[in-house]
Amino acid sequence: MQFNPCMKHKLIRNSARHFAETELAPIAAEIDQQRRFPREIIAKMKALNYFGLQVPKEYGGAAMDSISAAIVVEEISRVCAAVGLCVTVHNGVAIYPFLQFADAGQKEAYLPQLASGNVIGAFSLTEANAGSDAGSVETTAVKKGSDYFLNGTKIFVTNGGVCDVALIFALTSSPDNKLQSSVFIVESQFPGFLRGELEDLCGMRANPVSSLFFEDCPVPEANLLGKLGDGMKIGLSTLDNGRIGVAAQALGIAQGAMEAAVKYAKERQQFKKPIASQQTIQNYIADMATEIMAARLLLYRACELKDAGAPFGCEASMAKLYCSTIASKVTSLAVQIHGGYGYSKEYDVERYFRDAKVTEIYEGTSEIQRMVIARAILSQPIL
């Protein structure tokens, strides 16, 4: 058992932190307020393999282990969660299904472009009537000739406004006419692929989250991911992986908020001494630090299981549930420690506070995580 970071993980953290602090910190507040996707920074990130973290070398990726990839998402999110979101969705739920389920031709056609970041990916399951209930997708894919024709609307698509390729969950008919969900690789240039307005969200505002509309959008048969009817299987497996990414993101936000709170508590003078000398503030900081440490260990354990090829769904849900819960708590305490200033856009903790909340919602709500965890625990035999 190894609890201390190895030299490689330390260097990867330093490297991502240096990049985030140099390139993203100066603009993080501005792009949040202006809802601007920072293409100029994304261009720099492409060359450094941020968009192919775990893609094998032969497709131009960095072939990193899962803890390394989590560290990268953590460090970017520590400074700018909206860009962290772009990175984790692209790697965790757009590329991952290609690695797991794509055939050789699909890998050849899409992975090098995705890994280079020249093509940005998205994953679209959610619809107006299908959120936690992933089986209620209403988008349809009907086969005519050699193409499937997609019709329907996807909402809250992370990277939706800029994605070049999206994995779309749609209903298809089985040979015996039963409806089942399948996944299609859809390029933004296909006719009938339309983007909605960008969402005006509480947090993660620099990420171009939007709806996607499909109006008789033809998708070649070769772009069916996995087999017909594999939708649920691909969706669940992908979400397991995506949860590691969102946990890392939540952890990064919590870390950033705690550091800001510690710095402020040492500087802010009330009653002629720094507020850090007050026991109440010290208790807040002790709780924050303890919960962040526990969250990190839980997350890296899920990563380690994944790399060992062991089932990791339950552990990924635990990590996601815990990291997002403490992210909300830590960011709230960080605002509290800042007092009135923390409620102002002048300080970063106001943004961290808004960004943290959604980590309890997307990639499976905390309620769904508990369902997944309880199901796994209850299905174990009693010894």
Partner 1 sequence: MLNIVVCIKQVPMVTELPWDEKTGTLRRDLAAGMMNPACKHAVEAALQLKEKYGAAVIVLTMGPPAAEEVLREALAMGADRSILICDRMLAGSDTYATSFILAEAVKKEVPGCDLILCGAYTSDSETAQVGPQLAEELNMPAAAYAEHLDISGRTLRVRRLVDHFRETLEMEFPALVTVSMEQYEPRYASFAGLNRAFTGTDIAVLNAAALGITAAHLESRGSRTRVRRVFIRKTQKENVRITGAAANAAGEFLDRYQRTISAVIGKSIEAKKQT
Structure tokens at 148: 């499937």
Q: Does 270 interact with partner 1 (rule: CB under 8 A)?
A: no
Q: Between residues 53 and 81, which has the closer beta carbon with respect to partner 1? A: 53
Amino acid code (one letter) for 135: G
Q: What is the DSSP letter of 357?
A: H
Q: Are residues 84 and 249 in contact, defined by beta-carbon separation less than 8 angstroms? A: yes
Q: Between residues 68 and 331, which has the closer beta carbon with respect to partner 1? A: 68
Assign residue 309 a region: left if phi > 0, alpha if psi is -120 to 50, beta otherwise? Answer: left
Tell me the closest approach of the beta carbon of residue 246 to partner 1, in angstroms. 20
Which DSSP string corresponds to 239-296? HHHHHHHHHHHHHHHHHHHHHHHHHHHHH-EETTEEGGGSHHHHHHHHHHHHHHHHHH
The residues near 122 (Cβ < 8 Å, ≥ 6 apart) are 89, 94, 157, 158, 159, 160, 163, 165, 166, 167, 212
Q: Does 14 interact with partner 1 (rule: CB under 8 A)?
A: yes
Tell me the closest approach of the beta carbon of residue 342 to partner 1, in angstroms. 27
Q: Does 12 interact with partner 1 (rule: CB under 8 A)?
A: yes
Q: Between residues 66 and 124, which has the closer beta carbon with respect to partner 1? A: 66
Q: Does 18 interact with partner 1 (rule: CB under 8 A)?
A: yes
Tell me the closest approach of the beta carbon of residue 306 to partner 1, in angstroms. 17
Q: Between residues 8 and 227, which has the closer beta carbon with respect to partner 1? A: 8
4-12, 234-242, 259-267, 363-371 -> range binding partner 1 (CB under 8 A)? 4-12
Q: Does 142 interact with partner 1 (rule: CB under 8 A)?
A: no
Whole-number Å distance between alpha carbons of 322 and 295: 6
The residues near 69 (Cβ < 8 Å, ≥ 6 apart) are 53, 54, 91, 245, 248, 303
Tell me the closest approach of the beta carbon of residue 361 to partner 1, in angstroms. 29
Tell me the closest approach of the beta carbon of residue 94 to partner 1, in angstroms. 18
R_g over Cα of the chain: 21
Residues 42-81, one symbol each (x = binds partner 1 by CB under 8 A, - = not), give --x--xxxx--x---x---xxxx---x---x---------
Tell me the closest approach of the beta carbon of residue 50 to partner 1, in angstroms. 7
User: Exposure of 290 by Cβ count < 10 A (0-12 exposed, 13-18 middle, 19+ buried)?
Assistant: exposed
Tell me the closest approach of the beta carbon of residue 346 to partner 1, in angstroms. 26
Q: Between residues 48 and 371, which has the closer beta carbon with respect to partner 1? A: 48
Q: Sign of torsion, CA 96 100 105 107?
A: positive
10-18, 28-36, 187-195, 277-285 -> range binding partner 1 (CB under 8 A)? 10-18
Q: Are strands 193-198 and 210-220 parallel, antiparallel or unpaired?
A: antiparallel
Q: Between residues 19 and 353, which has the closer beta carbon with respect to partner 1? A: 19
8-16, 24-32, 106-114, 312-320 -> range binding partner 1 (CB under 8 A)? 8-16
Q: Does 10 interact with partner 1 (rule: CB under 8 A)?
A: yes
Catalytic positions: 363
Q: How far is CA 254 from CA 84, 109, 251, 303, in A?
A: 13, 38, 5, 19
The residues near 116 (Cβ < 8 Å, ≥ 6 apart) are 46, 51, 52, 60
Q: Between residues 7 and 104, which has the closer beta carbon with respect to partner 1? A: 7
Tell me the closest approach of the beta carbon of residue 61 to partner 1, in angstroms. 7
Q: Does 263 interact with partner 1 (rule: CB under 8 A)?
A: no
Torsion on CA atoms 34, 49, 294, 241, rounded to nearest 10 = 90
Q: Between residues 19 and 214, which has the closer beta carbon with respect to partner 1? A: 19
Number of residues that bind partner 1 (CB under 8 A): 22
11-19, 266-274, 351-359, 361-369 -> range binding partner 1 (CB under 8 A)? 11-19
Whole-number Å distance between alpha carbons of 48 and 261: 31
Structure tokens at 47: 């060359």
Residues that bind partner 1 (CB under 8 A): 7-8, 10-12, 14-15, 18-19, 44, 47-50, 53, 57, 61-64, 68, 72
